[in-house]
Structure formats: structure tokens, C-alpha cells
Structure 1
Amino acid sequence: MTADRDIDDVSRTWTKLGDEDPMWAVLTDRGKSGNRWSPEEFLATGVAEIDTVLGRVGALGLQPGRTRALDFGCGAGRLSHGLAQAGFGEVLGCDISRTMLAKAREIVPDEACRFVQVTGTDLAAVETDSVDLVYSCRVLQHMPPALAHGYVREFWRVARPGAVVVFQMPTQPSSSLAGRVLSALPVGVARRLRRGMEMHGTPEPEVRRLVESLGARVVAADPDTSAGPRWDSRLYVTTNA
């Protein structure tokens, strides 16, 4: 029941954010709060990010197929658009927030993209062994670890043999002054400062053990800035090839 309560809490937060300021909630640029992202600017950041990620995947010697990609925690669709522009034949964008998905359907022009609401702690709408690439960034960090780890297990259920799964996850609050201040704040205060967004981390060794338990391996755990200056974070590139 704990996981069900967790997903209900996360869903309420992101449904509210998706109603109020969806593009800013996905990409919290300080100057874009108050619905100041234009769809064109917002989607362009997704194209650039996916280009960088696929470049890194290729540099590691990995070549996933381009038939189907999964964008988990797709929000308003910026990375789904980037994956479609990168040549994936089908892009499945999954999110727990109906308001975020409504914005994605409104602004994403690509016919390759299909958006589906996640209603439970699994990816029941996605077939086993059906996806070439899974990508998730700025998503798992907002979930309690047990819920986030459950979704990582689902990534590897839906991934085909030879697939690549790339996901970002914080490890711990950073040792910077900002990180030390964050660690000292009561959880409720920190959450209010982030408009209801929670932040959670998992130590890298624990993530590596999780991936290995699923029959996959971590090819790279790159330092990553997606969680902001108050957190240490990693971008994990994993494969079962």
C-alpha cells in the first residue's frame, strides 16, 4: 500500500503543476516561470538533449535499434519530440499526470509520438521486450526510492535484448553550501520551496546492484547536473547486450 500512496501523492503534485505551468515544471529555468516557455523553445531543448544522449550512447559503443523508444515521465513531451526527431519510428511517452499529457498532445507535432497515462506502479500499457531505448531524466528524482526502483525494473521488463536504458537519478545532497543548507531543511519546507516537488536520491552502488539484479550492466555513470546544484546526480547508461 505504501507504493500506491506514493504514486497518488506524486500524481497529485504533477497534475497540479501540469495545470498551472507545465513546461516550467518540466524544465525549471528560473526565467521561464509563469508560462514563459514558448513551445518552440521548449521542444528545441529536447532535440538538443536527445542528440547529446545518443552521442554519448554511440561513443560507448552501443547501437540500440530505432524502432521504438520509451520516454518515461514525458511531461509535456519535449524529449518525446527529441526522440521522434532522432528517427525513432515510434515514441511512447508515459506520464502519471493527465494535465502534462494534455499539454504534450497539444504542442508535440510528431506523428511518431503516442502519449499514455501511467496509472499504477508498473508500465502495464507497454509490452514485454518491445522497446529499443528507454530514456528518463528529471523524473525518478521526484519519487520515493522504492517507487523509482520499481520503475527501473519495469524499464528492463519492456526492453528488448540488446536495448539501452538511460536514466538519471541523484545520489545524495551535494557537499556544496547549497547542498548542506538543503540537508538541514525540514522535508516539508524544502518541498514547499519547490512548489510541491519532492527530491530523492539513491547511492550509486545501490543503483548498480539494482541494474545487475535485472540481468543488465551499467556501462557509464556520468556526473549529471539535471538535479540542480544542491544534489550530486548520475546519468546511468545501461544495457543487456
Structure 2
Amino acid sequence: MTDLGDQREYWDGVGATKTFTHPLDPGLLAGVGPAARILDYGCGYGRLMAELSEQGFLDLSGVDVSSALVERGRRARPDLRFDVLEAPPGLAVPAESFDVVLLFAVLTCVPDEGAQRALTEELHRVLAPGGLLYVSDLLLQDDERNQLRYAAHAEEFGTPYGVFATDDGAVCRHHDRAHLHALLDGFEVLEERPIEVATMNGNRSRGVQLLLRKR
């Protein structure tokens, strides 16, 4: 089975062709000034950075494990800063380097629990005191197709319920709300909103967005 903490091969291949759709709500960042240092962790081809740039934010950085997605982003928006994340989740920056971090549809792509915990701890490290973490991710689905996928993967590989394989080779995870809250226990929840979103393979799924503040 693929490495559940990285999956770089998938994202440098078929994953680099995907369109990402989790919506960015500008209202959740209404109190953030234009000079705020913003990191998009798992930036893909820079969709969110482009949106924020158009809204007047000036200090935007993006990192992703996929060199193919980063190159796609650099071609589309050469004015934005992209870097390849060589040894995830580690960021080659000092502590407290950012005021805001975006984490959009990343935890679903890092289904390993230890890797998820290491990631949230690293983001806590690089956020300034009182800094904001804006998370958008997918919840456990209650339809038969997904429930069968969860059960089959758990039986074959012993993974947590909610982990599944897509038809094109990714291993993903849908989350129980309690698991997400436990994973983000170093942060205070300021806002929590349900969303419905098209997945990268075009299926409608229930998700959640959280705005959190570093404790």
C-alpha cells in the first residue's frame, strides 16, 4: 500500500491534473490585514493564493509535496511564491513565521494519524501567537458507496474507518468531527461551518470549515 503520510507519486502524476474546489470564505478572514503573512500549506496550483491576491493580500506563500502541481502554479501565476515541500510536514522557516495558515483538503490526503498529528503540530509551531488556522476538509459520509469503501479498506489494511482508495490510486480519509477536534486541540475554535463540496473526482460530499486561533 502507498505511503499514507505523503503519496507524492500520485500527486506528481494524475493528481497534478485535478481541479480543487473547496470554497474560500473571505468573511472568515475579514479581520486580517493586507500585510498579514499567509501560508497555504498544500497549495496545489495556487488557486487560493490567487484568490487572496485578488482580494488585496500582499504576503502570500504556498508549499506542496508535488513538484508537478507547483510547476503548474508557477506557470499560471509567476507573481506568487511557491515551494516544493521536500520533507513533509517540516517547513524550513523559524517558529512564528506566519499570521495565517490555510489547510484546505490536506488532511483528507494525509490519512495516517501520526502524519496528521505531526502536520498540525508543525503548523502550530510556525504560527505567530494568536495566529489563525483556516481548515477545510471532508467528513464521514453516510451513503452506501462510501461506507462500503471505508469498511473494505479497514478490513484489508487495518486503517481507521473513513480511509479509502479512489479509483485512480489515491488513499484518502473522511473524518469524524471528534477526530478533527482532537487533532486540532492546540487551537481554539472560533468558527465552524458545514459545507457541501465537489471532490477532486466530481462527487458531492459533506465537509466542514473551521477557523481556529493558536492557543
Fold match (TM-score > 0.5): yes
1:219 is aligned with what amino acid?
L
1:198 is aligned with what amino acid?
V
* Structure with the larger strand share: 2
The residue aligned with 1:86 is 55
> Which of the residues 51, 72, 97 maps onto 1:130?
97
The residue aligned with 1:40 is none
Instruction: Please report the RMSD computed on the Cα atoms of aligned residues, expressed in angstroms.
Output: 2.8
The residue aligned with 1:162 is 130
Whole-Å Cα distance in 2 between the matches of residues 86 and 102 of structure 1? 23
Determine whether 1:207 maps to 2:180: yes
Work out the percentage of aligned pairs sharing the same amino acid. 22
1:153/1:224 Cα in 2 relative to 1: closer, same or farther (>3 Å)? Answer: farther
TM-superposed deviation, 1:99: 0.7
The residue aligned with 2:160 is none
Gaps of at least 5 residues in structure 1 are: 28-44
Whole-Å Cα distance in 1 between the matches of residues 193 and 117 of structure 2? 19
The residue aligned with 1:182 is 149
The residue aligned with 1:196 is 169
TM-superposed deviation, 1:232: 4.0
1:196-217 CA-to-partner distances (Å, cap 9, x unmatched) read 12221332223223323x2x20
> Which of the residues 117, 140, 149 maps onto 1:149?
117
Report if aligned partners of 2:197, 2:204 keep a CA contact under 8 Å in 1: no
> Which of the residues 111, 116, 124 maps onto 2:83?
116
Aligned length: 201
> Which of the residues 7, 11, 14 maps onto 2:8?
11
Report if aligned partners of 1:179, 1:231 keep a CA contact under 8 Å in 2: no
> Which of the residues 25, 43, 46 maps onto 1:77?
46
Whole-Å Cα distance in 1 between the matches of residues 207 and 39 of structure 2? 22
Gaps of at least 5 residues in structure 2 are: 157-163
Greater relative contact order, per chain length (Cα 8 Å cut-off, separation 6+):
2
TM-superposed deviation, 1:5: 4.2
TM-score, normalization: structure 1? Answer: 0.72
1:155/1:65 Cα in 2 relative to 1: closer, same or farther (>3 Å)? Answer: farther
Whole-Å Cα distance in 1 between the matches of residues 68 and 177 of structure 2? 32
Q: Secondary structure at the match of 2:86?
A: coil
1:203 is aligned with what amino acid?
D
Q: Secondary structure at the match of 1:124?
A: coil
